[in-house]
Amino acid sequence: MGKATIDDVAKLAGVSIKTVSRVVNREPNVRDSTRENVEHAISELNYRPNQSARNLASHRSRLIVLIYDDPSLYEVASSGYVTRLQHGALRACHAANYELLIYPCNIRSRSLVDELRGLIEQIRPAGIVLAAPLSNMKRIVKAIESTGSPFVQLSPGHEDREHFSVATNDRAVSAEMTRYLASLGHRRIAFIKGNPRHTAVGHRFVGYKDGLRDSGLEYSDELVYAGDNSIAAGEEAADALLSLPKPPTAIFAANDDMAVGVIRAAARRGVEIPGQLSVAGCDDNSLAQQIYPALTTIRQPLAAMAEAAAASLIEDVQQATHHSGTEVVEASIRIRESTGAAPS
């Protein structure tokens, strides 16, 4: 029926409602026999605590809100970014019997701050997971902070000792990718930079330079092209780079969409991949695996990051603790078909 209340359970078990509450919330100070008694009554009546009543009485809900910039406002197709965030957050939520509310929003909306504040004040979530690039917008972070709701910033792209954030080792793994390309014999490795709004993406460029240095290769501005993270930008960059007097033999793009653009441009020009050109991306989005040739890329641990974020939030609520600083979830390289030995 789902209509049984805590009173019904208390009556059936012959205890007070407070004891039932203790059992339901796994609080200590209940004799084992009493606990069993109550648990029996609960399953007998098929009792489910009413979340609204709990929320009202405890001043918080069992809801985690995942806030992210709505990609469908820019992208024709889904890149899987959001899905993976959701998946990770859901894993943490369901493990703790919490639920996930999603809130895609328009980063460019003037009223976004008020909108988010309104949302949070009405819902009073147990915690908020704020995905990049929202997580590095000061006014957004400030607004959320002002509500008093616990929150985590995902890949904020900068150190923030005051708050809690979950990030990945972008720079280190980009260096690793660069070294991997160098180890294949490539000596002219180009880089396509991404949209500067995603601060974290900036680390990749730094990592690229680290990797060159580590491999004893010289950095050259000529081999760096700035894109805006789109497939079209990748095509444009590839056209420019491949038209160079001494074109690169490998192109490392700061995200997968641009790498896909490179592959497209190469196909159009009849440049063989990986025979004549190696291509590497970053993100491991859905396209990376589906395109031909499959893209060598850096696997962003998005799900793991979102899971860590949500889990920390829930832990803080339950243990009355407070996470702070930055938790790093490590990314890894996925070597697929788009990279190979440099042409001799």
Partner DNA sequence: GTGAAAGCGCTAACAC
Partner DNA sequence: GTGTTAGCGCTTTCAC
Please count the CA atoms within 13 angstroms of the CA of 336 that sit on its side-chain side: 23
Q: Which of 272, 292, 321, 330 binds a second copy (CB under 8 A)?
A: 292
Note whether 269 binds a second copy by CB under 8 A.
no
Residue type for position 338: S
Helix, strand, or coil here: 136? helix
Note whether 90 binds a second copy by CB under 8 A.
yes
Q: Which of 43, 46, 58, 290 binds DNA (CB under 7 A)?
A: 58
Q: Are 251 and 178 in contact (CB under 8 A)?
A: no
Draw the binding track, 12-51, toward DNA (x: CB under 7 A; -: no contact): --xxxxxx-xx-xx--xxxx--xx-----------xxxx-
Q: Minimal CA–CA distance to 57: which of 6, 98, 23, 101?
A: 6
Note whether 7 binds DNA by CB under 7 A.
yes
Q: Which of 5, 286, 324, 326 binds a second copy (CB under 8 A)?
A: 286
Tokens 């949209």 belong to residue: 195
Tokens (6 digits) for 333: 């390289």
Q: Which of 36, 43, 44, 56 binds DNA (CB under 7 A)?
A: 56
Tokens (6 digits) for 264: 């497209």
Q: What is the dihedral of CA 8, 14, 17, 22, to 10 degrees?
A: -120
Q: Minimal CA–CA distance to 141: which of 100, 114, 113?
A: 113
Note whether 52 binds a second copy by CB under 8 A.
yes
Closest approach of DNA to the CB of residue 108, in Å? 31
Judged by CB, which is closer to DNA: 36, or 145? 36
Q: In the complex, which residues of this chain contact a second copy (CB under 8 A)?
A: 2, 48-53, 55-56, 61, 63, 72, 76-80, 82-84, 86-87, 90, 99-104, 117-124, 147-148, 231, 260, 264, 267, 285-287, 289-292
